[in-house]
Structure 1
């Protein structure tokens, strides 16, 4: 009897430990006009980027922003502009964490920035392909900071990447013709179990190497090139 009780106690302790580890990484639900996407942030490997993103989420900053740059086969970028392509005032930029070992693999989430690697603010992008050219070190010796991954809503990401886009100006290119608006961004109080990415037998582990610049087909322009401002990935 004593042995059974000890075994039971050990099992419970293991479950509690697993729960603690599972809850360690914050999860954020992005509700958009195309559907809901849930992100899991890696605060262990990207603490500054995670804290920065959460600050924007909790302040309500992302509400009514759009995915302003969509390039199928590359990435979808948002977090900085409203439907009329007006930029929102941001917090001070944060240091790059592109050397954290996380990679710009499909469905990973990274910070967009300008040429200066330490210029990321509110804009982020979701990779819709394995963009290893954006990992540290890239062509300029830097990289784009990966700080999380999609864990639910893969079909929404896939829907967004395939929308019709148009160029609004030299600055704003690959803009969805029908705006994809973020209606709310909230931190989940009860974490969900990550869903399996399409075509994978197991839920993908958090990205493993760092990311760099989504640029139009050439991972050369920084993400907005994923960055803050469209077309030369920046802000």
Structure 2
């Protein structure tokens, strides 16, 4: 067999070798930038949805709160921001599940925003809600029982409640008592007690009113928020 020429061997050697790929520095940097942008995009998306979830919950730390009629195990507080200041109410665990469920729903949907105290009676109560029920406070005062009657804790001052005829008026009035009311259980479903801001309640109580106990100057609820802590 004849010996192959050097030129032939060189050509065959080049054919056997595969193509050599060289990854440039520019390609590496470009790829790294794309990866970094992808990671930043994921992080930004995560922060956006986390913040949106907190905003939808009303910033009230009650994401795990039951609204299906179950009684709650931990204290829950309602913060009433009024035009006179803030009032903190501790809600009762033993309150009516139906009333509590509706109250929580109305708080989260902004029902109480801008609601006025349309009836204020000194040494009695301040009422916010359905201003059409002009006779409500007068009826209460006519029906009051003697003050020396044995009272329960729910007959004390600074209690938060709503009317028992809530279904009849299709609204949700709020009543804050400013003095002990002997027949309170006959009139209200009490579901909370003021634990901070009694001075604000008293300031609302001292507002000038007309003969129908309507404040001469508007006093309203800016908003009501719910919290696990005060």
TM-score (norm 1): 0.54
1:166 alignment counterpart: 210
Cα pair distance change 1:118/1:183, threshold 3 Å = closer
Structure 1 runs of 4+ off > 6 angstroms? none
The reply on whether 1:147 has 2:147 as its aligned counterpart is no
CA distance in 1, matches of 2:118, 2:164: 14
C-alpha RMSD over aligned residues: 2.5
Higher normalized helix content (fraction of residues): 2
CA distance in 2, matches of 1:144, 1:183: 23
Cα pair distance change 1:118/1:104, threshold 3 Å = farther
Determine which of 88, 101, 107 is the counterpart of 2:158. Answer: 107
CA distance in 1, matches of 2:104, 2:94: 14
Deviation at 1:134, TM superposition (A): 2.4
Residues paired across the two proteins, number: 140
1:18 alignment counterpart: none
Q: Where does structure 2 lack aligned partners over 5 or more consecutive residues?
A: 1-71, 133-151
Deviation at 1:183, TM superposition (A): 1.1
1:93 alignment counterpart: none
Determine which of 169, 172, 176 is the counterpart of 2:215. Answer: 176
Deviations along 1:41-78, one digit per CA (max 9) or x if unpaired, are: 11333222222111111110000111110000110001
Deviation at 1:131, TM superposition (A): 0.2
CA distance in 1, matches of 2:122, 2:180: 12
The reply on whether 1:40 has 2:90 as its aligned counterpart is yes
The reply on whether 1:61 has 2:111 as its aligned counterpart is yes
TM-score (norm 2): 0.55
Q: Does structure 2 retain, via aligned residues, the 8 Å contact 1:23–1:191?
A: no
CA distance in 2, matches of 1:55, 1:34: 24
Determine which of 169, 172, 177 is the counterpart of 1:122. Answer: 172
The reply on whether 1:79 has 2:129 as its aligned counterpart is yes
Q: Where does structure 1 lack aligned partners over 5 or more consecutive residues?
A: 1-21, 86-100, 137-142, 168-172, 193-235
